[in-house]
Amino acid sequence: MKLPPLKIGRFTAPVPLVQGGMSIRVSTSALAIPVADCGGIGTIGGSAIPIDELKADIRKAKAATKGIVAVNIMFAMKNFYELVMGSIDAGVDMIVTGAGFSRDIFKIGKETNTPIVSIVSSPAFAKLAEKLGAAAIVVEAKEAGGHLGTDIALRDLFPEIRKVVTKVPLIAAGGMTNGYEMAEMMDKYGADGIQIATRFVMTKECSVSDNFKQAMLNATKDDIKLIKSPVGLPGRALNTPFVQKLKHHESDLKAKECKYKCLKKCDHVYCISERLMAACDGDIEEGLFFSGENVFKLKDILTVREVFDQFVSQAESMYKEPTAVY
Name which of 2 and 19 has its Cβ closer to ligand FMN: 19
Instruction: For residue 251, count other CB atoms closer than 10 A to its CB.
Output: 6
DSSP state of 184: I
Instruction: For residue 252, count other CB atoms closer than 10 A to its CB.
Output: 9
Q: How far is the CB of 11 from ligand FMN (least distance, A)?
A: 18
Structure-derived torsion over alpha carbons of residues 169, 293, 201, 114, reported in degrees to the nearest 10: 20
Name which of 201 and 315 has its Cβ closer to ligand FMN: 201
CA dihedral over 205, 68, 86, 194, signed as positive or negative: negative
Name which of 251 and 296 has its Cβ closer to ligand FMN: 296
Q: Are 290 and 235 in contact (CB under 8 A)?
A: yes
Nearest to 196 by CA among 60, 77, 324, 31: 31
Q: How far is the CB of 177 from ligand FMN (least distance, A)?
A: 7
Cβ contacts of residue 247 below 8 Å, gap of 6+? none
Can you tell me whether residue 138 is helix, strand or coil?
Answer: strand
Nearest to 119 by CA among 147, 92, 91, 93: 147
Name which of 7 and 297 has its Cβ closer to ligand FMN: 297
Distance, CA of 191 to CA of 36 (rounded, Å): 20
Q: How far is the CB of 251 from ligand FMN (least distance, A)?
A: 26
Q: How far is the CB of 64 from ligand FMN (least distance, A)?
A: 21
Q: How far is the CB of 220 from ligand FMN (least distance, A)?
A: 16
Q: How far is the CB of 216 from ligand FMN (least distance, A)?
A: 9
Distance, CA of 173 to CA of 140 (rounded, Å): 5
Name which of 74 and 262 has its Cβ closer to ligand FMN: 74
Name which of 28 and 114 has its Cβ closer to ligand FMN: 28
Name which of 59 and 207 has its Cβ closer to ligand FMN: 207
Helix (H) or strand (E) holding 95: strand 94-98
Distance, CA of 205 to CA of 217 (rounded, Å): 16
Q: Are 181 and 189 in contact (CB under 8 A)?
A: no
Distance, CA of 295 to CA of 177 (rounded, Å): 8
Q: How far is the CB of 40 from ligand FMN (least distance, A)?
A: 13
**37-46 residues labelled b (16+ CB within 10 A) or e (exposed):** bbbbbbbbbb
- By CB under 6 A, name the binding residues for ligand FMN: 20-23, 26, 45, 47, 72, 74, 98-99, 119, 140, 143-146, 173-176, 195-199, 201, 290-292, 294
Name which of 25 and 320 has its Cβ closer to ligand FMN: 25
Name which of 34 and 98 has its Cβ closer to ligand FMN: 98
Distance, CA of 25 to CA of 188 (rounded, Å): 35
Q: How far is the CB of 50 from ligand FMN (least distance, A)?
A: 15
